[in-house]
Structure 1
């Protein structure tokens, strides 16, 4: 019985010791958080801030367009014959009137001489008929010949006059055909690949032509915008405004040119609900290439002196559209705002904020109404290095155990010397 009471006492003592240890361990964990780290629930949150400022917001309409030349001409022969010479090189830039090719002119030179000969003959016949008519006129006055003879001669003169007119037209046609033997550029531009070689027999009905000339300067871009975006564009055009159009490459990284809006189409495409517009560009460096797909940014208007903040500051939630506004005590409050125009990076605030207010743009996911914040350090300020994890605890434990502690270590050295 005495032994049982002794065992019960020992068990009760162990239970007290274990309970006390568990209590102190739980208290330390609750105060320090998991793994002995400080509890961050009420710690300030480091955030990124932006200041409400005044600025201009461009109203830009974005669209995908196709580079479309203002003139693309397939050069064809206007006569039939053998192509004697090709006077251009592929890819050459030409001016209007430059010689491109020559068709064998010899048959047309011969035809011109024939037409001139016929004209000379008929003019001689006409002159003789006119002299006879003058003689008959005098004889009729003297009643020496019949009136019918005079009328017949007058009709013959008119026939020769018509024949001469026809002959002169034939001479002009022969001269024109001779001109057509020299094929010239009908417009400025750049020549593409050659479609026919010298020595081939070309005809008026050839569908391929000799070459294609594309006008490169200036260049136009045709693009489509939604019908809902058309009214402000037409309003600005009626006011006489020049709307700037910027062309960018497919990745929207390289600016290919800056031009202006020329016109809009006269009808809306009912299948897509869009309307086509045309913008022109100088294209002095020929960065815009025919049939190239480009991104167009059409500057329709600009909102002046608006209160602007970064788009990242705008939040959507149960209150509606809001921002986290920073208060003087470094806490934040939810401020419901009304927004206006945006350029993609900044957005205008029409109601809810004042000039020079500060709003949170980074770290909003960790904030609540009334949360404490830590402002970012100024640019160039030194940042204190955090101690290695567990360094403080190991130092304290080492001091308690006496491993590097100067007091206990000195005591051992004193005992050793003794």
Structure 2
């Protein structure tokens, strides 16, 4: 039933229910106007329903070229099958290649000393700054010396008294011996006096030891550095009573010149390391930061552990660094590169050019006709951004060959390529922008 029919039915129903109300109140022209409005509404509703139910146009009809086609974005990115593939290249060359082993190491101090007070007393002065470098024998702190000065004076007084008694006994002994030679005294008395002299000599020696001990205790009131190195943070403050039994002591000194790094390498390298050390050959070691971006120091292997760690299958080595600038700190984490050997005049390619597939490692070589060909190689030790390689005849790599380093995703043997010079695209864009700006300037000129 259309909308017009429904409206007519409604009007007819209303008239049938209230026939008296409609008579004389609804004019014919008003009824015609209602019927016309209903017909117009029905037409509008039918038209809009038809447009909504119509099938959507295919995306391909309005989107232009298909992706990957000549006019699509895929075609602009990868190019058609007849367009050369843009690539970046590197050069094959010969150079000395260092055979290195990488490991993780920790910096350790050559010596570490916990400086403690040797006598008990009040801490009166600190003669150092935290973190500074000190020499062995430098005064670091002072303890109240007065009790030890008094003890020294007492020992010296005791020594002086006993020395006087010894001297008097020695004079009496000489006098008794003279009388004995004249038969003026008994020999027993002379012997008794000689024994007294020896007794007093022992007393004087004991007193002298007491004096020396008092001087030593007094010297301990000046705390000195036992080794040269860097001073740590203080453990006590001025005015505190320090004791020789304090566990933490006054401070800690670490000797960082030279410094050492302890690291572990797989035991498979042990025969070569032993051979190098027995021959007296220096094994260079480099210490790098956590990100391996900055080289911190260079040194050499100084010692080798006496046993292999069975849990990890590694052996520990210790390398020595001069650390003249003091840049290495104990317990610092470093990346270690141990150089085991050097391959002289080895054939190398950029590390980015080396590819790995189901049949082994290979590189793409750029030919003179701007095509690429696959060359299978055997990778050797790497040194930085280059890797040593070996290739078999008859297609072995030669120094000066050009290999692909970037853009290998869609390459195949015999594909055409176009070498992109780094920075050339940016220069071209800048030149085009400059020319366009010049044209705009000319057009805007009066």
Task: State the TM-score, normalized to the length of structure 2.
Answer: 0.69
CA contact (8 A) 1:46 1:373 kept: no
Rounded to whole Å, the distance in 2 between the matches of 1:113 and 1:384 is 93
Alignment equivalent of 1:376, drawn from 413, 419, 429: 419
Deviation track 1:298-338 (CA, whole Å, cap 9, x = no partner) reads 33332221111122333333433333344444444433323
CA RMSD of aligned residues (A): 3.2
Cα distance between partner residues in 2 of 1:85 and 1:141? 65
**Whole-angstrom distance in 1 between the partners of 2:333 and 2:276:** 26
Matched, 1:348 2:388: yes
Matched residues, number: 353
In 2, distance between residues paired with 1:159 and 1:271? 68
Match of 2:170 in 1: 130
Distance 1:35 1:53 in 2: 39
Aligned with 1:277 (options 310, 317, 323): 317
Q: Would the alpha carbon gap of residues 254 and 384 (structure 1) be closer, same or farther in structure 2, given more than 3 Å must change?
A: closer
Indicate the SS of the match to 2:195.
Answer: helix
What whole-Å deviation, never above 9, does each CA across 1:57-79 have from its counterpart, x for those lacking one? 12222222222222332221111
The whole-number CA distance in structure 2 between the counterparts of 1:54 and 1:83 is 67
**1:359 partnered with 2:399:** no
State how far apart, in whole Å, the 1-side matches of 2:181 and 2:148 are. 49
SS of residue in 1 equivalent to 2:108 = strand
Deviations 1:266-306 (A, max 9, x none): 33333322233333334344332332212222333322211
Determine which of 204, 224, 227 is the counterpart of 1:184: 224
Match of 1:262 among 302, 325, 328: 302
Q: Does 1:339 align with 2:383?
A: no
Match of 1:212 in 2: 252
Displacement of 1:171 in angstroms is: 0.9
* TM-score computed with the length of structure 1 as normaliser: 0.73
Distance 1:86 1:276, change over 3 A: same
Q: Confirm or deny: 8 A CA contact 2:108 2:261 kept in the other structure.
A: yes
Partner of 1:292: 332
Give the Cα separation in 1 of the matches to 2:130 and 2:400. 62
1:97 equivalent in structure 2: 137
Unaligned runs of 5+ in 1: 1-28, 386-418
CA distance in 2, matches of 1:52, 1:183: 64
Shift of 1:147: 4.8
SS in structure 2 at match of 1:67: strand
Equivalent position of 1:195 in the other structure: 235
Structure whose alpha-carbon radius of gyration is higher: 2
Structure 2 residue matching 1:289: 3-state secondary structure: coil
1:203-258 deviation line (CA, Å, top 9, x unaligned): 21111211222334443322222222333334333333343333222122233333
**Post-superposition offset of 1:54:** 0.8
Distance 1:231 1:139, change over 3 A: farther
Task: State yes or no: 1:314 paired with 2:314.
Answer: no
Encode CA deviations 1:112-154: one digit per residue, 9 max, x unaligned. Answer: 1111111122222223333344444455556665554444433
Closer/same/farther in 2, CA of residues 191 and 330 from structure 1, 3 Å limit: same
Stretch of structure 1 that moved more, 226-235 or 64-73:
226-235
Residue aligning to 2:214: 174
Distance 2:280 2:82 in 1: 60
Whether the 8 Å contact between 1:43 and 1:372 is mirrored in structure 2 is no
Determine if contact 1:47/1:373 at 8 Å carries over to the other structure.
no
2:261 aligned residue:
221
Deviations, residues 160-207 of structure 1 (Å, cap 9, x unaligned) = 222222211111111111111111222333333221122222221111
Structure 2 vs 1, CA of residues 266 and 135 (structure 1 numbering), >3 Å: closer, same or farther? farther
Give the equivalent residue in structure 2 for 1:235: 275
